[in-house]
Amino acid sequence: MQLGLNDDSKTIYLTDASQLMEVATMAHIARPTVEHDMSIGTNLYDVQLICDSLANEFDIGRDLWFTQARWTNLVRSYLDPELVTRFVKASREIYNKRGKDGVVTEMQFKSNKRSAKKHKWGNCLLSASYRGQVDSHIKPTLVFHSRVTYMGYISGLDIGLATVLAKYIAGRERLSDIGLIWKIDVSQVHAFKTLPWLYAHRNLLDYVLRLETPTALRIQKWHEMVLRYEKQGKPIDDELYGPLRRVRQIWYNSNNGILRPPNVINDLDFSKLEGLGVDYDM
């Protein structure tokens, strides 16, 4: 089952993870009503994303304009190597021989330092659990719980984190064995941080620019600002607000064939997580 873009359900179900962010983001943007509306975006609460397989061809380089360093930063920010090692070892035991007994294991994501400008209200990613044995009546499943995610932006990396954990549990060739249930307290579409992804997919951008939903109108406002600054000849380097400068640069790059190198999630790993005691080549 794949939900249509105008479906009011806040549960998205797909067969694999490759288009999970796209479908969830576009469903949010297309909704005629939201649960909180701000100048920088809109919120939905208690969203759930589900896929049967964590095989994931999503490209964080071409789709989100992220560098490898951005992935490494997320991994180091949210994963404690000792906790990940313990979680993967326990999950492997459940995946291979104990899952049929109904055993479930869990891991807390690393707590980030709080400040007035970052993580003021707590972690974005909260916890993960694993259950299920291959070829048993209990399907191998990772369950993520998030306080908040930016749909159409960081959510692509969050789903990538689940894919790579599944790779360490089951091995690269068995990614399709493990499904995902992602429980999100606050799913936010940020009006201009979503633009780089839309700039990589002009068909979706064109669709959003024709909508009159609360989220689409917020996105259109920021896109119009990018176009206005471009028309006025305002130099990108003169943009003082870093996130908006990034958006303006990506708009320029996307119009001039300047793309990030491909970086497909299936090929990512935790090799930069110092102290990790497991590998995915089991």
Range of the domain at 150: 11-191+261-267
Kindly state whether residues 43 and 110 are assigned to the same domain.
yes
Kindly state whether residues 98 and 154 are assigned to the same domain.
yes
Q: How confident is the model at residue 280 (pLDDT cuts 50, 70, 90)?
A: confident
Kindly state whether residues 187 and 102 are assigned to the same domain.
yes
Kindly state whether residues 181 and 210 are assigned to the same domain.
no
Does residue 159 lie within any of the structural domains?
yes
Q: What CA–CA distance (Å, rounded) separates 222 from 282?
A: 47
Question: Has residue 120 got a pLDDT over 60?
Answer: yes
Kindly state whether residues 30 and 17 are assigned to the same domain.
yes
Kindly state whether residues 92 and 212 are assigned to the same domain.
no
pLDDT at 113: 80
Task: Flag whether the pTM goes above 0.85.
Answer: yes
Kindly state whether residues 16 and 66 are assigned to the same domain.
yes
Kindly state whether residues 151 and 223 are assigned to the same domain.
no
Question: Has residue 244 got a pLDDT over 80?
Answer: yes
248 near 239, Cβ under 8 Å? yes
pLDDT at 6: 43
pLDDT at 7: 55
Does residue 142 lie within any of the structural domains?
yes
1-10, 43-52, 87-96, 166-175: which has the minimum mean pLDDT?
Answer: 1-10
Query: Can you state the percent helix, strand and coil of the chain, rounding each to 5?
Result: 40, 20, 40
Kindly state whether residues 71 and 164 are assigned to the same domain.
yes
Q: How confident is the model at residue 8 (pLDDT cuts 50, 70, 90)?
A: low
DSSP annotation of 73 reads H
Kindly state whether residues 126 and 204 are assigned to the same domain.
no
Domains identified in the chain, total number:
2
221's tokens? 């406002």
Query: Which whole number is the average pLDDT over 67-72?
Result: 96
Query: Which whole number is the average pLDDT over 201-214?
Result: 98
Q: What CA–CA distance (Å, rounded) separates 71 from 247?
A: 19
Kindly state whether residues 123 and 210 are assigned to the same domain.
no
142 near 56, Cβ under 8 Å? no
